Structure 1
Amino acid sequence: ERGWLGRRGGVDLMVAMNPQTWDADVAEIEVGGYLFYDNSKPLPKSKFRDDINIIGVPLTEICNATYTDPRQRQLFKNIMYIGALSVLLDIDVPVIETLIGEQYKGKEKLLKPNLEALHLGRDWVREHLPHPLGLRVHKADAVGDRIFVEGNAAAALGCVYGGATVCAWYPITPSSSLAEAFQKYCQKYRVDGEGRARYAIIQAEDEIASIGMVVGAGWNGARAFTTTSGPGLSLMNEFIGLAYFAEIPVTIIDVQRGGPSTGMPTRTQQSDVLACAYASHGDTKHVLLFPEDPHECFEFSAAALDLADRLQTPIFVMTDLDIGMNQRLCAPFAWDGARGYDRGKVMTAEELEAGREFARYKDLDGDGIPYRTYPGTHPEKGAYFTRGTSRNPQAQYSERGPDYVYNMQRLLQKFDSAKAMVPQPIVQQSDVPSRHGAIFFGSTSPAMHEAIERLRDEGIALDTLRVRAFPFPESVRAFIDAHESVFVIEQNRDGQLRSLLVNEFGIDPARLVAVLHYDGTPITARFIADAIAGRSATQSRQHKVA
């Protein structure tokens, strides 16, 4: 009712359909909550709790009496669940009927029996149970102009608007639907007047091949990206190092999931932060963007393509399964038709012909970013050898110490230049001065916003900063310095963002208090508020003793 979009935490109503997980499911229900189950077969009293409300509906019994086909009995039982719950929760039945109608549009033979099953469930509850429950669904008009979309589709559309013409990928949960959405949008928006495709989408034989294709396309001047998740990212590391060292524009959208190894393919985490920040062997540092919702997935995917060109380096868009595969409400997308693509420092044939100095890996402007040329720019000038080995500013092979140090320092300077180009952090000050702050990022955002209000209601004031990119601008350091302690909220075991902050700023780790959630489910406002309230109480006692 207050418009929060994150998960609050706790279970008010459990629809228990799986006997194997019954005990664990019942244990999760809040005191005073509701257990809804199929009571066609009686269960011993030990299977229930005295502090919750029990609602039994004989769904199997109703289905057996109504249908002779065993398959229909199972399929329509699920629809009866919905019908029964719609009465108990006071959900408008026309809404459900409309959704079922959309699902079976043009399939009247399937539509009619599904609607009949819906009303079978409704009729039984109306006749036998008090309704509605104290817990119910209220219809409200609080959406405004917001749209309902999943992050993967939003990121794919951002790539289309951002000028991507090449996508090479290998299927992996939870990123596959991003490449599929890109193909769908390209078929609509990237065809010429004669219907010819102006894009290339390649499903490669593996992640190594896909990133190799993207590196090759980026070297050739195309805007190219790949999308993957943790295991695929691990396979891509050698090519990521090549793109970093040879300075080739590449965009990688990492839809994070639970790791390591195969881990939890259908669960969410923010556990690739360090793996992406320092991807590949040797000394590397990569630009990471952290969108909080589908709207920023759209914005940041388009921005990543610009940044890759401007910085001539891999750019990572760090989403996760929670954002990527779940539909969320967000602000509508917007695009300025006059907005051009920033291809960065690309030397033209005219500039080469005029005698302008070209040395592929030389810093001519003092920002660490060299000039490049596209293949075939000039018949005689601007050519260079692209290599993953050490070289001098003229791109000639060299293992001389001074050449190597010059190049590595220039890459570091380029990374420093990126601080002014990436999305800046968003700071929110509490209503009253606070000694404590909190840093968060990505999909943690909806739960964090609700947690802030919960903490405010408990008398705990907290300033917050949402990190939107790495490298961290100096404003992040200033925020930390302005507070005695700062909570760092993230969804991984090892406090990876916290480690990155400590490593980059040389901060005393004791000042950054880790709040970690990593069971694979999306973080909740309750978890955040309880963790911060508990730590704040401990710190207050220690402060008084001191």
Structure 2
Amino acid sequence: MIKDLGWKVGGAQGEGIDSTGEIIALSLFRLGYYVSTYRHFMSLIKGGHTNYKVRVTSELTNHHGDALHMMFAFDQESINHNFHELVNGSILVYDTAIKNAEAPEKDGVNVCAIPLTDLAKEAGSPIMKNMVSVGVTAAAIGLTPDDFRSVVVDRFGSKGDEIVESNMAAMRKGYDYYNENFNHRLELPDRPEVKEERLFISGNEATSLGALAAGCRLLAQYPITPATEVMYQLIKQFPKMGGAFIQAEDEIAAVMMAIGGNYAGVRTMTATSGPGFSLMMEALGLSGISETPLVIIDVQRAGPSTGLPTKTEQSDVFAILYGSHGEIPRIVLTPRNVEECFYYTMEAFNLAEKYQCPVIVATDLYMGMNKQTVSSIDFDKFSINRGKLISDEELAELEKGAFKRFDVSVEDGISYRSIPGQKNGRFVAMGNESDEVGVEMEEPVLRTLQMDKRARKLANFNDNAGFDYAGAANAELLLVDFGSTGGLQYEVFKALEAEGVSVGHLTISRIAPFPMELAGYLKAAKKILVSELNSTAMLATLLKQQVGEHAKYESCLKYSGDPFLFEEVYAKAKEVADSLKKEVTL
């Protein structure tokens, strides 16, 4: 099992919960630890319960962990919601400003009532109770206020030295108070040896950086949780890169602008979540039939309709795979961690232009809005490929009107495209079916040829492996997942493997075109457990559709809006593993 330390702060939205968590997480990251975070928040600007979880480990993980070793409660609701997570030897700190505070009795939980607000007032302002909490944390885990100073300077330095020092003073008050009144101490995991530069970023931040690195210079978007952070990051960076942002009036306009930008030769994308993606269905078909590159980032959240705007889910799968009327080629990538959000977004632009079709990068709120330690980014892994762009010289050899933008004779289904302004390269990219030069037509034979041409594009797709496998070659129990559940289920896989279970882990990173090369692992297994965040087992259904082996499947599903806990998936996997043992015994 991974040795870790779980820390959490909870309170009402608007109390600085996120900033408290970020200071703890970023400081520990800078000290060399691996950090994963999880923000739980409601669809309110102010009020309602929120909390920020920080998991500290000595090795890379992609999950916020189950165990909670230290919790700060700024209100009673935080105790009510989170007390059950505290493990043996843990510390609960609550603010004495909470009227009639009550904490359940639980062996092994050390309850510490600390005047966080009063200490903050002594330091200059009650709003600094979060900094008092940081000081208490430092004392409990064997650090000092100075270990957090660099983050405080970065966060408050622009407001002047006086503000920095008042925050440091608040931190010292918490540090001294805890040391003078309490003896409970927590042990940090072993500090890993840092051999390379690392980043502490969220999936949305990684997505925006990947878009920039790929040459995206136009974003058309309508704000929507949880994809809005992608927009904010690009708004911040575009002025340095010569890029532009357009806030559209709705998602229909946003995706149409993205299609227009790509038609004009500018690498363009849009980002959205489930409700916005629903509005883009007809435009998705336009990209397909007009063979115009398009990149859409779908940061999934819990639906249907408005659903749970600030909660996570993996329930857009069928919309992503089959949405829009008619039949078009499309590519769907499902990054499994924050690092892959960067690389897969870069790759999406190459694929969109190479295959002249829509590419959807499907992340989710859990991965998109929570920060993790990731390895430093290797830009040498990527080179820009703009696909079949016809040159001015090639066009000059053609007669006016002879450019076959939709040439049906191409073996791979991908014809050359031109950019507006190229002499002899003019064509119409319309939503109606067209002939080879782009003139609207309804002739049955040519319609069939155009459909077949577009279908050939992805027939031999091999640009992306589509999955990773770990474990025995012929594992009896196969754990399968996609997207953000991969990190958690890998930990389950390692735990079962350590117990001697014959187990494999198959994590999928591309669901269209479906990577049929994985079929052998499904066929070899006796039981297949698919863990996913939806209620109708969408990934399992896709696997059955593509590979078969229907009788082998078991599902571990969650659709409460919260991500999986380790124990939830482990318990189900253990149950399936035990059933295999019973079959052998019988």
TM-score grouping bracket, smaller chain normalisation: 0.7 to 0.9
Amino acid in structure 1 at the alignment position of 2:412: D
Superposition RMSD in Å: 2.7
**Structure 2 unaligned residues grouped into runs of 5+:** 4-57
Partners of 1:42 and 1:247 in 2: how far apart? Answer: 63
Change in Cα spacing, 1:391 to 1:512, as seen in structure 2 (3 Å) is: farther
What do residues 201-255 of structure 1 show as CA deviations (whole Å, max 9, x unaligned)? 2122221111111111111222111111222111222211111122110111122
Partners of 1:398 and 1:540 in 2: how far apart? Answer: 63
Amino acid in structure 2 at the alignment position of 1:49: E
Partners of 1:41 and 1:367 in 2: how far apart? Answer: 68
Alignment-derived partner of residue 176 in structure 1:
228
Instruction: Report if aligned partners of 1:168, 1:202 keep a CA contact under 8 Å in 2.
Output: yes
Structure 2 residue 525 is matched with structure 1 residue 483 = yes
Structure 2 residue 422 is matched with structure 1 residue 372 = no
Partners of 1:349 and 1:38 in 2: how far apart? Answer: 71
Partners of 1:48 and 1:101 in 2: how far apart? Answer: 38
Structure 2 residue 188 is matched with structure 1 residue 137 = yes
Change in Cα spacing, 1:422 to 1:141, as seen in structure 2 (3 Å) is: closer
Partners of 2:551 and 2:289 in 1: how far apart? Answer: 35
Partners of 2:329 and 2:390 in 1: how far apart? Answer: 26
Structure 2 residue 347 is matched with structure 1 residue 303 = yes
Aligned residue among 321, 325, 338 for 2:365: 321
Amino acid in structure 2 at the alignment position of 1:212: M
Q: Comparing both chains, which one has the higher relative contact order based on Cα–Cα distances under 8 Å and sequence gaps of 6 or more?
A: 1
Alignment-derived partner of residue 22 in structure 2:
none
Alignment-derived partner of residue 54 in structure 1:
110
Alignment-derived partner of residue 163 in structure 1:
215
Partners of 1:248 and 1:40 in 2: how far apart? Answer: 60
What SS does the aligned partner of 1:105 have? helix
Structure 2 residue 111 is matched with structure 1 residue 111 = no
Alignment-derived partner of residue 91 in structure 2:
34
Instruction: Report if aligned partners of 1:152, 1:175 keep a CA contact under 8 Å in 2.
Output: yes
Paired residues for 1:246-285 under 5 Å: 246-285=290-329
Higher strand share: 2
Tell me the CA shift for residue 305 of structure 1.
0.7
Tell me the CA shift for residue 42 of structure 1.
7.7
Instruction: Report if aligned partners of 1:59, 1:80 keep a CA contact under 8 Å in 2.
Output: no
Amino acid in structure 2 at the alignment position of 1:223: R
Change in Cα spacing, 1:331 to 1:112, as seen in structure 2 (3 Å) is: closer
Change in Cα spacing, 1:465 to 1:139, as seen in structure 2 (3 Å) is: closer
Instruction: Report if aligned partners of 1:35, 1:52 keep a CA contact under 8 Å in 2.
Output: no
Paired residues for 1:406-417 under 5 Å: 406-417=449-460
What SS does the aligned partner of 1:415 have? coil
What SS does the aligned partner of 1:489 have? strand
Change in Cα spacing, 1:209 to 1:44, as seen in structure 2 (3 Å) is: closer
Alignment-derived partner of residue 194 in structure 1:
none
Tell me the CA shift for residue 427 of structure 1.
1.9
Alignment-derived partner of residue 463 in structure 1:
504
Alignment-derived partner of residue 72 in structure 2:
15
Paired residues for 1:206-355 under 5 Å: 206-336=250-380, 341-355=384-398
What do residues 161-215 of structure 1 show as CA deviations (whole Å, max 9, x unaligned)? 2122221112222222222222333333x2xxxxxx3x32212222111111111
Tell me the CA shift for residue 77 of structure 1.
2.5
Instruction: Report if aligned partners of 2:275, 2:306 keep a CA contact under 8 Å in 1.
Output: yes
What SS does the aligned partner of 2:484 have? helix
Partners of 1:255 and 1:55 in 2: how far apart? Answer: 39
What SS does the aligned partner of 2:295 have? strand
What SS does the aligned partner of 1:416 have? coil
Change in Cα spacing, 1:474 to 1:247, as seen in structure 2 (3 Å) is: same
Change in Cα spacing, 1:543 to 1:359, as seen in structure 2 (3 Å) is: farther
Change in Cα spacing, 1:540 to 1:395, as seen in structure 2 (3 Å) is: farther
Change in Cα spacing, 1:376 to 1:12, as seen in structure 2 (3 Å) is: same
Question: How many pairs align?
Answer: 524
What SS does the aligned partner of 2:258 have? helix
Partners of 1:206 and 1:183 in 2: how far apart? Answer: 18
Change in Cα spacing, 1:484 to 1:204, as seen in structure 2 (3 Å) is: same
Tell me the CA shift for residue 274 of structure 1.
1.8
Partners of 1:138 and 1:93 in 2: how far apart? Answer: 19
Partners of 2:70 and 2:376 in 1: how far apart? Answer: 32
Structure 2 residue 551 is matched with structure 1 residue 499 = no
Instruction: Report if aligned partners of 1:274, 1:500 keep a CA contact under 8 Å in 2.
Output: no
Instruction: Report if aligned partners of 1:279, 1:286 keep a CA contact under 8 Å in 2.
Output: no
Amino acid in structure 2 at the alignment position of 1:209: A
Structure 2 residue 575 is matched with structure 1 residue 534 = yes
Alignment-derived partner of residue 21 in structure 2:
none
What SS does the aligned partner of 1:453 have? helix
Change in Cα spacing, 1:31 to 1:42, as seen in structure 2 (3 Å) is: farther
What SS does the aligned partner of 2:245 have? strand
What SS does the aligned partner of 1:262 have? coil
Partners of 2:210 and 2:128 in 1: how far apart? Answer: 40
Partners of 2:77 and 2:419 in 1: how far apart? Answer: 60
